[in-house]
Amino acid sequence: MKIAIASDHAGFQLKEQIKKYLIEKGYPVEDFGTDSENSVDYPDFAKKVCKEILSGNFERGILFCGSGVGMSISANRFRGIRAVLCQDLYTAEYSRLHNDCNVLCLPGRIIGKGVAEKIVEIWLKTPFEGGRHKRRIEKIDEL
């Protein structure tokens, strides 16, 4: 599974920590920026990752900003992207089981490395259940 990641300045530190974690776990990862804590605009980085997923170059994406809200709003503007803002293990699991989320948004100023690693692990390993949930996702796509 190829993973695209990106952050703004507020999510930069957590992105770097999770990138290292993903590489250690053997995931192919491509970092679409930012490369420092200098102020940038999060929609620019959400756009890069979402376009890569929609083009089929990557199966999943992980976005980081201060609260996770800006990245999740930006990512969910793209038809075919189902982004979840996640701060807990339950949401990580059920965003995959029931919603087939393909983008995970993490808040760099709210959760630490340990929680973030557990969220990422669960989110990457949890399959989509399909069934009635697939029908619901199709209805979302029609909106």
Active-site positions read 65, 98
In the structure encoding, which two tokens stand for residue 30, read together? 């491509």
Cα distance between residue 71 and residue 122, in whole Å? 20
- Partners of residue 106 on adjacent β-strands: 64
Tell me which residue has tokens 């948004």. 105
Q: Which residue has tokens 């965003």? A: 95
- Which of 54, 57, 60, 110 shows the shortest CA–CA distance to 86? 110
Which residues lie below 8 Å from residue 135, measured CB to CB, with a gap of 6+? Answer: none
